[in-house]
């Protein structure tokens, strides 16, 4: 059923010049692991289907995150980057959980990754704008050396 549904969706995406990304999960039983993403991509057979790698999901599954990033290969088109302690998808800032960010960034640089680097961290929608601004400045300070 997934192959058929994604096949139809990707057919439309191809016509419009768009890409569709599958995200690794959090032990929900569907495409949790990179090899499962690849199985679906190969079964669909569309050049419009890629991978969005979620670091927190991978950490909850106790993956070797740098190796999982390598396994995504040329279909790694997007990321959802955040940290956690491995027990839940907590959407923390990098370096505030137990993900090895030094090696994650080294692998991304090593494979020449130049696509979407999305920080999937909590922004505090209910916080005053001044607090959100402080959080954004902090995020920029954390990210700057990572992305050089």
Task: Please give the tally of structural domains in the chain.
Answer: 1
pLDDT band with cut points at 50, 70 and 90 for residue 143: confident
Here the tokens at position 40 are 């679906």
CA dist., res. 94 & res. 128, Å (int): 23
Mean per-residue pLDDT of the chain: 92
User: Is beta strand 20-23 parallel, antiparallel or unpaired with respect to 76-81?
Assistant: unpaired
Expressed as residue numbers, the domain containing 28 is: 2-146
pTM for this predicted structure: 0.91
pLDDT band with cut points at 50, 70 and 90 for residue 27: low
pLDDT for res 125: 74
Tell me the CATH number at 117: 3.20.20.150
How far are the Cα atoms of 72, 92, 101, 128, 142 from residue 75, in angstroms, in the given order?
6, 26, 21, 39, 27
């Amino acid at each position: 059923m997934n192959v058929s549904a994604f096949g139809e969706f990707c057919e439309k995406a191809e016509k419009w010049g768009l890409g569709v990304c599958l995200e690794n999960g959090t032990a929900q039983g569907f495409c949790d692991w990179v090899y499962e993403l690849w199985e679906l991509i190969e079964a669909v057979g569309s050049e419009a289907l890629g991978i969005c790698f979620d670091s927190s999901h991978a950490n909850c599954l106790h993956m070797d995150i740098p190796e999982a990033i390598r396994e995504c290969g040329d279909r790694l088109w997007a990321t959802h980057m955040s940290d956690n302690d491995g027990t839940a998808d907590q959407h923390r800032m990098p370096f505030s959980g137990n993900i090895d960010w030094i090696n994650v960034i080294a692998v991304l640089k090593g494979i020449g990754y130049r696509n979407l680097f999305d920080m999937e961290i909590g922004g505090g929608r209910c916080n005053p704008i001044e607090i959100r601004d402080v959080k954004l400045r902090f995020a920029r300070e954390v990210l700057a050396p990572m992305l050089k």
